[in-house]
Structure 1
Amino acid sequence: MVLKGVMTIELTDENTGAVETVTEENMITEAVNNILGLNPMGIFYAATGEYDDALLWNGNLLPICPNMIGGILLFSEALAEDEELLYESSDNLPVAYASNDVNSTANLARGSLNLTESMAISNGYKFVWEFTPNQGNGTIAAVALTSSFGGENGFGSLTGDASAFLQLKAADIGAIPDANKMVLFEAVELDFEDSLLYSITFENAGVRIRKLRIPVFSIGLNEKLDDSTYTVLEDEVLTPETFEFLGSYTKYGDFLDGQDGYWYGFSNEGNSSGDAAMLWIKISKADYSFTEGQWTLSNAKLMDVGTRAFDTFAERSVKCCVRGGYLYVPAYDKKGIYKISLSNSTDVTLIEFGFTSKWKPLCETGSCELYLTLIGDLIIGGDFQITAEDTVIQTQGSVRLNNAATPLFQYKNFLFGWGGSYGNEYRTAYLLTPYLASINNLSSAVVKTVDKTMKITYTLTEQPDSVP
């Protein structure tokens, strides 16, 4: 299916009646093809159990218009014209957006769909979005179609942040032995292309690294799609001299993927005063060689980086993340987040939130909790986001994930994670909804101000396939 999109933006001055009009054609990305054509880990098969929670496609994703394509994103800077570009970097988040309905919220970045003028046409769909004078203001240099959910709040706003994550499948893994579940809950990296999962923990005075084969896009003769048949390919134990998980019953610490050829382990106990002490270990992915040590962070007052426990239930909480060579750990008073260089522990910056975080996980509270995760280059917390430029964005802080023990692992439009709560355990898959379904760079940027209304008419049509 070949799609063609034509967009017209009309800015009308409320005082003079003058109309500024811009018309552009678009580039269609692979976003919709990925959703329709990929099936990582068999998420669209009924393969894992009678208690699975699977998305109903009709009404959520189908018809494609106005669902899978049912929203619009507006950007202040141009987008790279690449059909493989699915999400823009966090230094160019949408300044405005709209979904497939009328905006009844207080979110001034969001416009409304004109329900009368928007309609299916013989070979496609016509969208008409409208923004009042106080909605969607700012510079507009690029426009992209997105999903209806992605057009509700972008990646998150003060009026809503759950719409960025559409749960596709919660696969029940409760029948797996508890020790095997814990291996999944301790995942730090998932290599989708090679069907490999890396799980790291601290036990018996050693750092244990397990490399697993788990079906993603291929399945062996003796494998299932319920995570019960994963194969341990390597099981290595490192013996550090300094590094350990602090604590007695509850162990304080976590392991993370540095995305730089190394895994990192950290352990600390939260401190409300004085200097923070942090144990660390840096492990090479190539040969498992490692360095380790301890940081003393002057006047830094940190929360713990996370916890692990394995008693009645497998437990893990994640409260930190690594991005671009820095460890991010929230401040003990919940009013900011510390940015700590992995290569120079004197390079420490406190990024102030400008508010006191509610400090709730992205999921319901329970035996597994995910407080921070990195998606692309955007750090997402319960009620805040940290962009690539370390700008803080406050969001609503709603529950948006199933019980989560691991960071979210991304493959194209899809996010995966493992977790559970008090005996109910799942592998959950999500659609990251604010994807770029099309790319329209304006030949010249326009500026939407409080004295102008804006109307965007976007006609998307199916074209005959080209003849080879």
Structure 2
Amino acid sequence: MKLKGEMLLELTDSTTGDVETVTETNMVTQAVNDILGSNPMGIYCKAGDEYDDMVLWNGNLLPICPNLIGGILLFSKTLEEKTDHIYEVGTNLPVAYASNNVNSTANTARGSLNLTESKKLDNGYKFVWEFTPSQGNGTIASVALTSALGGQNAFGSTVADATAFLLLKKITIDKLTKAIRMLLFETVEIDFEKNLLYSITFGESSVMVTKARIPVFDIGLNEKLDDSTCTVLESKTLTTSTFTFRGSYTKYGEFLDGRDGYWYGFSNEPNSSGNATMQWIKISKTDYSFTEGTWTLSNAKLLETGKRDKEDTYPERYVKSCIRDGYLYVAAYNKNGVYKINLSNSADVKLIDLGFTSKFKSLGESGTCELCMTVVGDIIIGSDFQIRKDDTVVKTQGSVRLKAAATPLFQYKEFLFCWGGNYGKESRCAYLLTPYLASINNLSSAVVKNTDKTMKITYTLTEESSE
């Protein structure tokens, strides 16, 4: 079935009553088809414990309108018109948005659905969104349909930030051996297309890299979809002379995917004064060759990049740093900023001022693990902040968005995966990243919405026969 969208945007001057109108048609992306047509790791299959969480399709995903398509995003710059363009870059985040209900919050970027005029049609759906003079102000160059949840707060606001993540499935793994659970907790990369997982851990003077098979898009004759048949294919021990996780009882350090053909390891103890000392290792994904060394970061006062306690009864991992575009991001000791460290030149260090003191807590529920910072697309998501691609900081509410999380979020198209748990109750979770672009509608000429104007957007989406 082919979809056709038509949009009428009306800006009305509150004083004169003059109306400026824009009429456009849209292109539809493959976002909804991806969600309905993909089943990575069997997320839509009942394959775990009888009490495992699974999304209820009706009311959350279906009917498509007004659920999978039930919100709207407005951008200040045009969007690239490609069917596989399903998330916009972090330098062009939405200036306004709306969902499939009335906005009863204090979020002035969000408008409301007109519940009287919006309705189901015989061959589609008619959405009518309205923005008061104080709502949705800014330059508007492009409009996109999105999910109902994605239209509530986009990637997060000071009012709420959990709506960007819809839990699709939580599968229990606490019956697996501790060794397998720890392997999953220490995952640094998933190659979804090749059904491969890479996990890295540390020894006294060594680093161990493990490659394992995990069913993602194909399944073997003896495999299951509950991680119990995760199969180790190769383990490589790298003997180090400099790199190790610092600390005595608590071991400080983290391994991260550089997304540049290398994995990186870092170890530092928190320092409230003086210079920061950080040990590092850079490992080739091709042949496991590595380089290592120690950085002395002048006047840098850092929190730890991460920490582990391998001696505990339960698997643990605390991720407190991330890598984006060749830079390591790690929080300042006072939590007022985030340091940006050039992986190729440790003298290139920049302190990004958050403008407030962050809680710097986990994105997930409390447990024997924490995920305090992770990269989604090209946006760094922190506990109560976002750092865009140009290092602009956006403050968000800081609510719990995930189940207890021990790993970074691993993204495949609209889906996010992670492992985590709490004192013997470990699990693997899959989420839908809700602020996707279901359609793209670039205006022929940008318009400006300000406090002198109201805005009404009528969007009609209809089905046409593909014959």
Aligning the two structures, in what range does the TM-score lie when normalised by the shorter sequence? over 0.9
3-state DSSP of counterpart to 2:427 = strand
Q: Does 1:343 align with 2:354?
A: no
* Counterpart residue identity of residue 142, structure 1: S
Matched residue, 2:402: 401
Tell me, in whole angstroms, the C-alpha distance in 2 between the residues paired with 1:276 and 1:248.
18
Tell me, in whole angstroms, the C-alpha distance in 2 between the residues paired with 1:232 and 1:358.
38
Report how far residue 365 of structure 1 moved: 2.0
* Counterpart residue identity of residue 358, structure 2: S
Tell me, in whole angstroms, the C-alpha distance in 2 between the residues paired with 1:325 and 1:35.
31
Report how far residue 221 of structure 1 moved: 0.4
Tell me, in whole angstroms, the C-alpha distance in 2 between the residues paired with 1:102 and 1:364.
29
Report how far residue 205 of structure 1 moved: 2.1
3-state DSSP of counterpart to 2:180 = helix
Tell me, in whole angstroms, the C-alpha distance in 1 between the residues paired with 2:387 and 2:41.
30
Matched residue, 2:245: 245
3-state DSSP of counterpart to 2:79 = coil
3-state DSSP of counterpart to 1:180 = helix
Q: Give runs of aligned pairs for residues 284-299 of structure 1, distance below 5 A.
A: 284-299=284-299
Matched residue, 1:165: 165
Report how far residue 93 of structure 1 moved: 0.2
Matched residue, 1:355: 356
3-state DSSP of counterpart to 2:370 = strand
3-state DSSP of counterpart to 1:65 = helix
| Mean CA deviation greater in 445-454 or 304-313 | 304-313
Tell me, in whole angstroms, the C-alpha distance in 2 between the residues paired with 1:51 and 1:320.
33
Kindly, what percent of the aligned residue pairs are identical?
70
Tell me, in whole angstroms, the C-alpha distance in 1 between the residues paired with 2:325 and 2:440.
27
Q: Give runs of aligned pairs for residues 34-45 of structure 1, distance below 5 A.
A: 34-45=34-45
* Counterpart residue identity of residue 23, structure 2: T
Matched residue, 2:180: 180
Q: Does 1:431 align with 2:449?
A: no
Q: Does 1:316 align with 2:317?
A: yes
Matched residue, 1:30: 30
Tell me, in whole angstroms, the C-alpha distance in 2 between the residues paired with 1:284 and 1:30.
34
Q: Which 4+ residue blocks in structure 1 deviate beyond 4 angstroms?
A: none
Matched residue, 2:16: 16
Deviations 1:397-454 (A, max 9, x none): 0000011000000000000001111111100000000000000000100000110000
Deviations 1:122-162 (A, max 9, x none): 10000000000010000000000000000000000000000
Asked whether the 8 Å contact 2:204–2:244 carries over to 1, the reply is no
Tell me, in whole angstroms, the C-alpha distance in 2 between the residues paired with 1:229 and 1:367.
24
Report how far residue 230 of structure 1 moved: 1.2
Matched residue, 2:228: 228
Q: Does 1:196 align with 2:196?
A: yes
3-state DSSP of counterpart to 1:163 = helix
3-state DSSP of counterpart to 2:59 = coil
Tell me, in whole angstroms, the C-alpha distance in 2 between the residues paired with 1:112 and 1:200.
47
Report how far residue 51 of structure 1 moved: 2.1
3-state DSSP of counterpart to 1:374 = strand
Report how far residue 201 of structure 1 moved: 0.6
**TM-score between both structures, scaled by the size of structure 2:** 0.99
Tell me, in whole angstroms, the C-alpha distance in 2 between the residues paired with 1:442 and 1:137.
16
Q: Does 1:463 align with 2:460?
A: no
Q: Does 1:273 align with 2:254?
A: no
Matched residue, 1:213: 213
| Mean CA deviation greater in 42-51 or 431-440 | 42-51
Q: Does 1:263 align with 2:263?
A: yes
Matched residue, 2:416: 415
Tell me, in whole angstroms, the C-alpha distance in 1 between the residues paired with 2:49 and 2:42.
13
3-state DSSP of counterpart to 1:151 = helix
Matched residue, 1:369: 370
Matched residue, 1:452: 453
List gaps (5 residues or longer) in structure 2: none
Report how far residue 204 of structure 1 moved: 4.0
Tell me, in whole angstroms, the C-alpha distance in 1 between the residues paired with 2:299 and 2:63.
56
Q: Give runs of aligned pairs for residues 325-336 of structure 1, distance below 5 A.
A: 325-336=326-337
Deviations 1:231-283 (A, max 9, x none): 11110000110000011221100100000000000000000000000000000
3-state DSSP of counterpart to 1:59 = helix
Report how far residue 308 of structure 1 moved: 1.1
Deviations 1:341-389 (A, max 9, x none): 0011110000001101111110122211100000011000000000000
* Counterpart residue identity of residue 338, structure 1: Y
* Residue-pair matches, total: 466
Report how far residue 112 of structure 1 moved: 0.2
* Counterpart residue identity of residue 156, structure 1: G
* Counterpart residue identity of residue 354, structure 1: G
Matched residue, 1:58: 58
RMSD across aligned C-alpha pairs, in angstroms? 0.6
Tell me, in whole angstroms, the C-alpha distance in 2 between the residues paired with 1:30 and 1:203.
45
Deviations 1:10-45 (A, max 9, x none): 000011111000010001001100111100000110
Tell me, in whole angstroms, the C-alpha distance in 2 between the residues paired with 1:51 and 1:254.
32
Tell me, in whole angstroms, the C-alpha distance in 2 between the residues paired with 1:60 and 1:365.
26
* Counterpart residue identity of residue 430, structure 2: A
Deviations 1:300-321 (A, max 9, x none): 0000000111221000000000
* Counterpart residue identity of residue 332, structure 2: A
3-state DSSP of counterpart to 1:85 = coil
* Counterpart residue identity of residue 24, structure 1: E
Tell me, in whole angstroms, the C-alpha distance in 2 between the residues paired with 1:100 and 1:340.
42
**TM-score between both structures, scaled by the size of structure 1:** 0.99
Q: Does 1:95 align with 2:79?
A: no
Tell me, in whole angstroms, the C-alpha distance in 2 between the residues paired with 1:335 and 1:7.
43
| Mean CA deviation greater in 161-170 or 354-363 | 354-363
3-state DSSP of counterpart to 1:171 = strand
3-state DSSP of counterpart to 2:97 = strand
Tell me, in whole angstroms, the C-alpha distance in 2 between the residues paired with 1:332 and 1:233.
40
Asked whether the 8 Å contact 2:276–2:301 carries over to 1, the reply is yes
3-state DSSP of counterpart to 2:20 = strand
Tell me, in whole angstroms, the C-alpha distance in 1 between the residues paired with 2:197 and 2:204.
22
